[in-house]
Amino acid sequence: MTLRLTSAPVSGVKKRKSSAPRPRASPFAAHARRKPPSGASSLKSTATADLSLDDPLPDLGGSHYISQTAPVQNVLEAIQYIRDGIFEELPQRAGMNSTRIAEVLNLRRSLPPLASVAHVHTLLDAPTQVEREIVELVQTGQVRRLIIPGRGNDAAGLGDCLVLAEDWEKLVQGSALLDAPTKEKFLDILKRMGTSSAISQGVFTTDEYRALLRAGFIVSSSSFTQGSLSVASLPNLPTSAASSASRKEYTQSKTERPVQSDAQARAATLFLSLPNTGTYLRLLGSGRAHLLALLRRSASGEVPLGLLKDRWDGAVETEKSFHLAKRARGEFAGILPGKTKKWKELYGMRFRWALEEALGAGLAEIFETGSVGPGIRSL
């Protein structure tokens, strides 16, 4: 007889089965599943999509974002920053043929090294200190203040610009339309003029006047609105600055005409200028207008800074990993930069550069939202 020692039949102890709780249904089970957006730009646009509607952004006061992030400390650095930072570099996949690329590069190279006073004030955000520093630089001859009549006198005008004296001298020395004696005479007159931007026509001979006018370094007052200049604003140039031929012509005209009217004095007045200044001002005005048009797409006239930059750049492809992967798979990753207005009409103007110009001109303002970074509002 076999003896089995086991407690199962006799102990009467049964293990209680563990009753696992039923899994509860997820509250999102009824919602349709969607693929997550591919890329940081999609996440950013999704987060700010609701903020670009009719509801205005929260306003916590003015923002100092531009002045705090600008890499400048004084007026000279600001002028150099504005002069060199107007355009972006050509992308590798620009979507433009060689003719268009050459046109873009030639226009960039031809623009004068100007910086508007309003732009300088935006970067430094210290009006009294900046204006005092500009006056000191002009008086010491390091900077020339170029006043262009007929382009507006208020902050939104385009006629108050600054240029480094060394850049002006380089343009004169590099001009192929002026001979060496004319260059020396013109530079000598610039040093004697001081802070004025107007010059009498009698200082130059007829040939010198035509050469400087053709080279773009002077413009006639007849091109502007009459009455914007008084005879008292003309500089007091020394007699040695004028050539003997011009003095002879002036003496003859003085004996023949005993009295010179104000209209005749204005007709004999010239203004200092730089080559292709008109092209520069037209491009600057187009950049301001395009930025304001992008702001007006929002019914409230307000938009976060990041969203406004996306509108400025357009739906272009980038060199980010997800765009590269899309191109490798043959999928659509965005349009080429050459198809956007930024490159077709503005030749690759930087968004921040155009924004700083609009802020300085009083056409827009920047404020803190507290949630989505700085906001931009049209005025």
pLDDT digit string, tens, across residues 145-160: 988 765 655 555 577 8
So what's the pLDDT on residue 162?
Answer: 93
263 and 181 share a domain? yes
Contact 303, 376 (CB under 8 A): yes
Task: For residue 329, give Cα distances in angstroms to 21, 91, 324.
Answer: 46, 21, 9
SS3 365: strand
Q: Domain end: 240, 274, 308, which one?
A: 274
- 348 assigned to some structural domain: yes
- 146 assigned to some structural domain: no
364 and 314 share a domain? yes
So what's the pLDDT on residue 31?
Answer: 57
So what's the pLDDT on residue 336?
Answer: 81
230 and 297 share a domain? no
> Which amino acid does the sequence have at 10?
V
So what's the pLDDT on residue 263?
Answer: 44
So what's the pLDDT on residue 257?
Answer: 39
- 310 assigned to some structural domain: yes
Q: Domain end: 274, 299, 327, which one?
A: 274
Contact 378, 295 (CB under 8 A): yes
Nearest to 369 by CA among 302, 294, 297, 293: 302
305 and 341 share a domain? yes
- 167 assigned to some structural domain: no
So what's the pLDDT on residue 46?
Answer: 45
The number of angstroms, rounded, from the C-alpha of 2 to the middle of its chain's C-alpha atoms is 103
Residues of the chain with pLDDT under 70: 1-54, 149-157, 221-268, 317-324, 326-334
Structural domain span for residue 221: 176-274
**Cβ-proximal residues to 161 (8 Å cutoff; 6+ apart), any chain:** 114, 115, 116, 117, 145, 146, 148
So what's the pLDDT on residue 94?
Answer: 81
> How far apart, in whole angstroms, are the C-alpha atoms of residue 123 and residue 143?
18
Q: What percent of the chain has pLDDT over 70?
A: 66
137 and 118 share a domain? yes
- 74 assigned to some structural domain: yes
So what's the pLDDT on residue 280?
Answer: 93
Q: Domain end: 209, 244, 274, which one?
A: 274
Contact 118, 360 (CB under 8 A): yes
- 325 assigned to some structural domain: yes
So what's the pLDDT on residue 227?
Answer: 38
280-312 per-position pLDDT tens digit:
999 999 999 999 999 998 888 899 999 999 899
- 330 assigned to some structural domain: yes
Secondary structure E strands in 235-352 = 269-272, 302-304
Domain count, the chain: 2
Phi and psi, residue 271, nearest 5°: -120, 145
298 and 246 share a domain? no
260 and 309 share a domain? no
Phi and psi, residue 220, nearest 5°: -85, 150
Nearest to 270 by CA among 151, 148, 152: 148
180 and 270 share a domain? yes
Phi and psi, residue 358, nearest 5°: -65, -40
pTM exceeds 0.75, yes or no:
no
268 and 309 share a domain? no
Q: What are the CB-based long-range contacts (under 8 Å, 24+) for 284-288?
A: 284/116, 284/158, 284/357, 285/158, 286/345, 286/346, 287/346, 287/349, 287/353, 287/354, 287/357, 288/354, 288/357, 288/358, 288/361, 288/363
So what's the pLDDT on residue 27?
Answer: 58
So what's the pLDDT on residue 321?
Answer: 64
So what's the pLDDT on residue 198?
Answer: 79
SS3 118: helix
CA atoms within 13 A on the CB side of 254: 7
267 and 304 share a domain? no
295 and 264 share a domain? no
Nearest to 280 by CA among 128, 150, 161, 103: 161
286 and 379 share a domain? yes
- 102 assigned to some structural domain: yes
Which residue stretches of 22-114 are H helix?
40-47, 65-69, 75-84, 98-110
